[in-house]
Amino acid sequence: MKFEEKVLVWIAISSKGLSKPFIVPSKTAIDQEVYKKECLQPRLIPYIHANHQEGTYKFWPDLASSHYAESVMDFMIENKIDFVEKCENPANLPEVRPIEDFWSILKGKVYENGWEAKNAEELIQKIKN
């Protein structure tokens, strides 16, 4: 059985706009080291500093295991990133997470009019556009 290529997309959103996205072909889930090195350090922290004063935001990760790994929690605490604790992040209620609306809109725009990607690079380009 042949499986479709997948693409990993990470982005931070707020009322101030969008962070620089991280978009790569992906065969597996993102691990905690990649999450810190590719998402939090170069994208989330600059986005927060450019758009939000301390105490005026709350970062709301999804429930991917890498997002709540101990080293990631330590990193966010050390960098004073105010985030939703895992115990306060409802597992079976994705409609309360604002990012879920973004993913729904993005998916609708990418695949409108029956568009289909021939490969991961084509999909990445469509997402970026």
Q: What dotted CATH number matches 6-128? A: 3.30.420.10
Please name the residues in contact with 68: beta carbons below 8 A apart, sequence gap of 6 or more: 61, 86
Q: Please say whether the beta carbons of 12 and 18 come within 8 A.
A: yes
As a whole number, mean pLDDT of residues 30-54 equals 95
Q: pLDDT tens for residues 56-102? A: 999 999 888 999 999 999 999 999 999 999 999 888 877 787 788 88
Report the sign of the C-alpha dihedral through residues 106, 82, 52, 96, in that order.
positive
Q: Which amino acid makes up residue 44?
A: L
Residue 101: its pLDDT value, please? 87
Rounded to whole angstroms, the Cα distance separating 89 from 87 reads: 6
By the 10 Å C-beta count (0-12 exposed, 13-18 middle, 19+ buried), 72 is classed as buried
Q: What is the pTM of this model?
A: 0.87
Paired tokens of 49: 């500093």
Q: Where exactly are the structural domains of the chain?
A: 6-128
Distance CA 40, CA 118 (A): 30
What is the pLDDT averaged over residues 96-122? 89
Q: Which percentage of the chain shows pLDDT scores above 70?
A: 95
For the cut 90, the answer to whether the pLDDT of residue 110 exceeds it is: yes
